[in-house]
Amino acid sequence: MLKPDPFLISLVCTVILATVLPCRGAAVPVFQDLAIAVIAVMFFMQGARLSREAVVGGLVNWRLHLAILLCTFALFPLLGLGLHALFPNMLHPSVWLGILFLCCLPSTVQSSIAFTSIARGNVPAAVCAATTSNILGIFITPILTGLVLARHGTASGQGGVVAIMLQLLLPFVLGQVLQPWLGKWAHRNKRLLSMTDRGSILIVVYTAFSEAVVQGLWHQMPLSQIGLIMLADSILLALVLLITMSGSRVLGFPREDEIAIVFCGSKKTLASGVPMANVLFPAATVGLVVLPLMIFHQIQLFVCAVLARRYADAWERRQESEAL
């Protein structure tokens, strides 16, 4: 039985808090500066935690990594643009921005690896692919977002690539430089750092949704729009899962690599996505932009948990039949 994710419950509670008690007046610049600071610390610690050996060691399976990167940074944006072209008036314009931004994000790390492991897939490749996707995403996502939104007829705000470099990439690089000294401490305190990462995201979400609520978010966002966001996210995920699964088999990847491609290629990171949105978009629109990502995150966890269990069951049946 699937248990509710405490972090997702915390996200919902944060949105409710921002709806009931949004930060206003003199508190706004304080929370905005705090959000920038906690994002920088989070990316610094990500750099300090990341093992360079894990990345370099897994790069040998270039076909698998290329397939995952193409799914993450090419297939998703093309599907997002296609959905928008077919149903341009289905969602609020800022929500469509959120869907397209979601399509430009890198893969998750923890859940991609966890689901690949549960499904008996190629875990070392998943570790490398998910990590590489996150590193490249710091460079690719702002550029890709700019290209996709230009196609959409909109520009991302707040300096785009330059802001990403200063607020996300620079702390990450500093963390990597200090990794030989901080790496062991970071690994010993994984749980504590995971809690601080999640706390950072909650601060950014509260700040973004407070601004959105003050700007009239829930007057622009009836329940029917929430349902349509869930539908759009579900269609997007279903298409990617179908294409990654069937494409892996057509291209002749072994079962273990197929699993890594399916789970790494279909994920989108909430942990990096919310901070990036906070950097790339004006404060008044961030709340609406990250809403599709928050909903997609919940859907991808539920669907991929079920799919991973099915892969694992099939593996166990095959093992039993081979033992007879």
Q: 70-84, 87-101, 138-152, 291-305 — which one is most confidently predicted on average? A: 70-84
Query: Whose CA is closest to 201, among 7, 47, 54, 57?
Result: 7
**C-alpha 96 chain-centroid distance:** 17
pLDDT at 157: 44
Is it the case that residue 213 has pLDDT exceeding 80?
A: no
Q: Report the pLDDT averaged over residues 259-265.
A: 93
Contact by Cβ (8 Å): 50, 131: yes
Tokens of 187: 């690994």
Phi, psi of 154 (to 5 degrees): -135, 155
Is it the case that residue 189 has pLDDT exceeding 70?
A: yes
Is 80 exposed, middle or buried, given 0-12, 13-18 or 19+ CB atoms closer than 10 A? buried
Contact by Cβ (8 Å): 253, 64: yes
pLDDT in tens, 271-309: 788 888 887 887 778 888 888 998 898 788 878 888 988
Question: 3-class SS at 12?
Answer: helix
For residue 249, CA distances in Å to 59, 98, 230, 262 come to 21, 31, 29, 11
Please state, in angstroms and rounded to a whole number, the distance separating the CA atoms of residues 21 and 17.
6
pTM given for the model: 0.76
* pLDDT-above-90 percentage for the chain: 23
Is 315 exposed, middle or buried, given 0-12, 13-18 or 19+ CB atoms closer than 10 A? middle
Please state, in angstroms and rounded to a whole number, the distance separating the CA atoms of residues 287 and 307.
30
Please state, in angstroms and rounded to a whole number, the distance separating the CA atoms of residues 233 and 228.
8
pLDDT at 7: 66
Place of tokens 């002749």: 252
Q: Report the pLDDT averaged over residues 117-143.
A: 82
pLDDT at 158: 43
Q: Report the pLDDT averaged over residues 71-87.
A: 94
Average pLDDT for the chain: 81
Question: 3-class SS at 222?
Answer: coil
pLDDT in tens, 55-76: 555 556 778 889 999 999 999 9
Tokens of 25: 């007046």
Q: Which residues make Cβ contacts (< 8 Å) with residue 84, sequence separation at least 6?
A: 96, 99, 100, 152
pLDDT at 305: 81
Number of helical (H) and strand (E) elements in the chain, helices listed first: 17, 0
Contact by Cβ (8 Å): 221, 288: yes
pLDDT at 5: 64
Question: 3-class SS at 173?
Answer: helix
Query: Comparing 257 with 132, which gets the higher pLDDT?
Result: 257
Query: Comparing 169 with 295, which gets the higher pLDDT?
Result: 295
Please state, in angstroms and rounded to a whole number, the distance separating the CA atoms of residues 241 and 31.
38
Is it the case that residue 206 has pLDDT exceeding 80?
A: yes
* pLDDT-above-70 percentage for the chain: 85
Contact by Cβ (8 Å): 144, 280: no
| CA angle in degrees (0–180, nearest 5) for 308-311-315 | 135
Tokens of 5: 């994710």
**Residue 220 binned pLDDT confidence (cut-offs 50, 70, 90):** low
Please state, in angstroms and rounded to a whole number, the distance separating the CA atoms of residues 136 and 297.
20
**Residue 165 binned pLDDT confidence (cut-offs 50, 70, 90):** low
Q: Report the pLDDT averaged over residues 221-234.
A: 88
Query: Whose CA is closest to 270, among 50, 78, 107, 65?
Result: 107
Please state, in angstroms and rounded to a whole number, the distance separating the CA atoms of residues 261 and 96.
26
